Amino acid sequence: GENVEQHPSTLSVQEGDSAVIKCTYSDSASNYFPWYKQELGKGPQLIIDIRSNVGEKKDQRIAVTLNKTAKHFSLHITETQPEDSAVYFCAATSSGGSYIPTFGRGTSLIVHP
């Protein structure tokens, strides 16, 4: 089955800096890669996603890049703000069969004012 590795487990940055979270996956059939943000006391919420036919996608201060050859994808947050502090999960899903996403173990991002 699919295996998703996510790094780092904890990331501490100063407000205004950029933050990068990286994930690798093992199943070459995976074709959809969402990123979820979990704020304290809440459930994860989709913030951005990318499909395997696209190399990069941006939405304001966040962007995701995908390297299919190397089987890795990354979340980039620019001009970080304290409200970006949360746990971020990457996931990978396969094109075949049922939708059973495999999640990374999460990255706790702390943005210091």
Binding interface with other proteins (CB under 8 A): 6, 9, 31-32, 34, 36, 41-46, 49, 51, 89, 93-95, 98-101, 103-106
**Nearest CB to other proteins, comparing residues 40 and 70:** 40
Amino acid at 20: V
**Nearest CB to other proteins, comparing residues 53 and 69:** 53
Name the minimum Å distance from CB 32 to other proteins.
Answer: 5
**Nearest CB to other proteins, comparing residues 76 and 101:** 101
Amino acid at 23: C
- CA dist 107 and 44 (Å) reads 12
Residue entry with tokens 């996608």: 57
Name the minimum Å distance from CB 16 to other proteins.
Answer: 29
Name the minimum Å distance from CB 106 to other proteins.
Answer: 5
Name the minimum Å distance from CB 10 to other proteins.
Answer: 11
**Nearest CB to other proteins, comparing residues 32 and 65:** 32
